Structure 1
Amino acid sequence: MFIGCTSTGVQVTFDDEKSNTIREHIQYYLDGDIDSMMSIIADDAEIYINSDESVSAEEARSIHELEHSIFKDISTSWSQEEGGVDIGAWIESTDYPAGPANKPVSVTQAWFTLNGTSIKTGEALSTPVHVSYIWNDSGQVETIYQFFDSVDATAVIEASLAPSE
C-alpha cells in the first residue's frame, strides 16, 4: 500500500529565482555594470577569492572594476561537450536541510570559463571558474566562494599593469 511521499532532502533546481538572479548577476558583470552586479550582495558579505581570507563587498567591487579596466571582450562559456551548445554558464541552486553541523541553507553555484583579452597586450585569457553563492534570509548573497586557476590570470594581469617600455 502506498501512503505518500514527502521530499525531505536536498532540492536542486536550475530555473528558479535564485539561479536566474545569478544569471543576471553574471550578465551585469559581463556588461561592466558593477553597481547592478553588486546589488544582490549584502554590504557585510564575506567573499573568498581563491583564499581562506575574505574580502569585503567594496573590495570585490574594486577588483571587478579593475578587471574591466584590464580586459575587453569579457565573456563566459560553458558546454557539456566539445562543440556542444554553449549556455554561457552552468548554474544551479540547492536548498540544503539542517544537519548536525549546519542550519538550512540555500546555495547557488556557477561553473563557466571566463574569457577576455588584455587591452594593453592583446593576450587572451581563458580560465575555468567555479563560484558558490550562499544566500541569507533577506534574499541577498552573504558569502561567496570563488575558485579558479590564478596562474594564467595573474600573468596576464601583471603584464597588463606593467609600465610600458
Structure 2
Amino acid sequence: MGGLTPEQVERHYRTWPPRSWYATRRSRRVLAGVGAASAALGWVSAVVCWYLAPSSLAMWTTFALWGAALVIYAVVYSALVGATRGVIGLAGRHLDERQALERLRLQAGSRRGTTIMLCAVLALVLLADGDRSVVEVPTTAIFLLVYAMIATHLILPSLLAALRMPDPPRDDDEDEDD
C-alpha cells in the first residue's frame, strides 16, 4: 500500500474484507483457527515428505498442501489485518503508541511460540527413529520443516492478535435496535 496516506489505508481496512468476518470475538477466533489450520498444512507436508520421499506422490501432495495453505491464509490474513486495523500489516510509522506496543507484545508471543515449536520438533525428530543413533531424514523433509517453521513464525502474530483482541464497545444506536 505504498504512497497511501494513513487515512486512505484506514478506509481500505474498513471496507475489505466484510466486517462480519471479524466483528465478534467468536468470528475472529474462527479466523485464527482457520489460519492455524493453514499453517498446519505446511507441517503435514513435511511429515508426508519424511515418510514418502522420494516419490511423485510426496511431491504432488506437498504442492497441493502448500498451495491450499497459501490460498487459505491469504484470505484469512486480509481479514485479520482488517480486524486489527493494521497493527500487524502497517508500517511502524503509521502506528500510534498503543498499536506499536500491541505489535511488540504479539511479536514476543510469537517468538515464545516459535521456541516451543522448535523444542517440540527436536523432540519428535529424536523420538521418530527410536533407538538408532543416526536419524535419517530426507533432504526435502528438512527443507519443508524449515519452511513450515518460518511460515508459522510469520503467521503467529496475526493469529495471536485475533485471539487476544476484545470485542469493541457497542454503540448506543445498536442498543436501541435490540
Which category describes the TM-score, using the shorter chain as reference length? under 0.3
TM-score, reference length from structure 1: 0.23
Ranked by relative contact order (alpha carbons within 8 Å, sequence separation 6 or more), the top structure is 2
Give 1 or 2: higher helix fraction.
2
TM-score, reference length from structure 2: 0.22
Give 1 or 2: higher strand fraction.
1
Decide which structure has the larger Cα Rg and report it: 2
